[in-house]
């Protein structure tokens, strides 16, 4: 499948080049090549077990945490292969942040959840931390709801608020790319609508990649959509094209709910 020409060359942030992923001897991503545009939302869709989470984790080397995982091919972020030997993983994960399916705040205060990643940088003063916490909470559309109780335990927030807190925590370290792995599957429809609206706003400043099971969500929030099936990239194109006139019969069957 020819995917190189889908995103205009000047708009590319990430190039995935012949990427394969194995867990032990089991191959779960098969020779995937596609380019992800800067400051747009790219959705990854496909049936359960097709490799969506595995794929998104290859974009900030979260798979390194799985001992039996092995990657072939290249992932270029701003032209640099993140799988090169001398890559600084701390810097990489700062640049490429991640938000998970289940909100996972630390059992600490709202303030500390966001300040956590920043405290490692000892030069930061309290006033600066306060500024960053406020900025991040505003960006994540949570500030008004929590500004009077920043020192309350984050676990007392609702699920939707916790997910926005996790987004604020990801934003606090000023990433350039944010990966979302099914960010709305554990929250209610109203919270989902807020997170979708937020994702829509985030693309003004960030490159966003989102895994979702929800076709309507992919159609609503994304600019580009990749359809994976059994570890293979079946189709990648502008979201509008994928959802109105897919080239592949399998894509059509999946988006119309005939399988998966
Ligand atoms: N740590 C692991 N070790 C071995 N196999 C794994 C591991 N994690 C995932 N797999 C396997 O890799 C394949 C892809 O899994 P992955 O979680 O990436 O799929 P997914 O598309 O995200 O599924 P879902 O929609 O259910 O979240 C599956 O067959 C899964 O069983
Ligand atoms: Mg998954």
Q: How deeply is 151 buried, as exposed, middle or buried, from its count of CB atoms within 10 A (0-12, 13-18, 19+)?
A: exposed
Closest ligand 1 atom, residue 54 Cα: 18
Considering every ligand atom, which ligand is closest to the CA of 69?
A: 1
Parts of the chain with a pLDDT under 50? none
Ligand 1 contacts CB of residue 54 (under 6 A) = yes
How far is Cα 218 from Cα 196, in angstroms, rounded to an integer? 10
- Distance between start and end Cα atoms, the chain: 22
Q: What is the distance in A from the centroid of ligand 2 to the CA of 48?
A: 7
Per residue in 59-70, pLDDT (tens digit) is 999 999 999 999
Considering every ligand atom, which ligand is closest to the CA of 213?
A: 1
Range 9-105+177-255 has CATH code 3.40.640.10: no
3-state secondary structure 118-141: HHCCCCCCHHHHHHHHHHHHHHCC
Ligand 1 contacts CB of residue 99 (under 6 A) = no
Residue 239's DSSP bridge partners are none
- 165, 103 Cβ separation under 8 angstroms: yes
Which pLDDT score is estimated for 125?
83
Q: What is the distance in A from the centroid of ligand 2 to the CA of 53?
A: 4
Domain ranges of the chain: 9-105+177-255
Whole-model pTM? 0.94
Q: What angle do CA 86, 88, 89 make, to 5 degrees?
A: 120
DSSP, res 65: G
Which pLDDT score is estimated for 130?
93
Which pLDDT score is estimated for 121?
65
Closest ligand 1 atom, residue 53 Cα: 22
Strands (DSSP E) found in the chain = 12-23, 26-37, 41-45, 69-77, 80-81, 96-99, 177-181, 207-211, 224-229, 232-238
Q: Which residue has the tokens 């099936």?
A: 229
How far is Cα 218 from Cα 135, in angstroms, rounded to an integer? 27
DSSP, res 109: B
Closest ligand 1 atom, residue 51 Cα: 18
Of 155, 34, 42, 138, the C-alpha closest to 103 is 155
Which pLDDT score is estimated for 1?
56
Which pLDDT score is estimated for 186?
84
Of 230, 224, 236, 225, the C-alpha closest to 2 is 236
Which pLDDT score is estimated for 4?
63
Ligand 1 contacts CB of residue 129 (under 6 A) = no
Q: Which residue has a Cα nearest atom 7 of ligand 1? A: 23
Q: Which residue has a Cα nearest atom 25 of ligand 1? A: 48
Which pLDDT score is estimated for 2?
58
- 165, 105 Cβ separation under 8 angstroms: yes
Of 38, 46, 30, the C-alpha closest to 11 is 38
3-state secondary structure of 153: strand
Of 195, 62, 168, 176, the C-alpha closest to 106 is 168
Q: Checking DSSP bridges between strand 224-229 and strand 232-238, what pairing results, if any?
A: antiparallel
């Amino acid at each position: 499948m020819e995917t190189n020409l889908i995103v205009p060359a000047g708009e590319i942030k990430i190039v995935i080049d012949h990427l394969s992923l194995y867990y032990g001897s089991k191959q779960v991503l098969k020779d995937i090549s596609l380019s992800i545009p800067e400051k747009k939302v790219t959705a990854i869709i496909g049936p359960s077990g097709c490799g969506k989470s595995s794929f998104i984790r290859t974009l900030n080397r979260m798979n390194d945490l799985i001992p039996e995982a092995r990657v072939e091919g290249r992932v270029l972020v701003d032209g640099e292969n993140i799988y090169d030997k001398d890559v600084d993983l701390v810097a990489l994960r700062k640049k490429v942040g991640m938000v998970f399916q289940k909100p996972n705040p630390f059992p600490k205060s709202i303030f500390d959840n966001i300040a956590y990643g920043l405290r490692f940088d000892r030069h930061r003063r309290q006033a600066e931390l306060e500024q960053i916490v406020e900025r991040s909470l505003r960006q994540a559309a949570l500030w008004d709801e929590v500004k009077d109780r920043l020192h309350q335990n984050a676990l007392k927030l609702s699920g939707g608020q916790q997910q926005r807190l996790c987004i604020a925590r990801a934003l606090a370290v000023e990433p350039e790319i944010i990966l979302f792995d099914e960010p709305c599957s554990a929250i209610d429809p109203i919270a989902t609508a807020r997170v979708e609206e937020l994702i829509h706003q985030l693309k003004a400043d960030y490159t966003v990649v989102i895994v979702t099971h929800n076709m309507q969500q992919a159609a609503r929030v994304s600019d580009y959509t990749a359809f994976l099936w059994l570890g293979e990239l079946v189709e990648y194109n502008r979201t509008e094209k994928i959802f109105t006139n897919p080239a592949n019969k399998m894509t059509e069957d999946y988006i119309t709910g005939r399988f998966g």
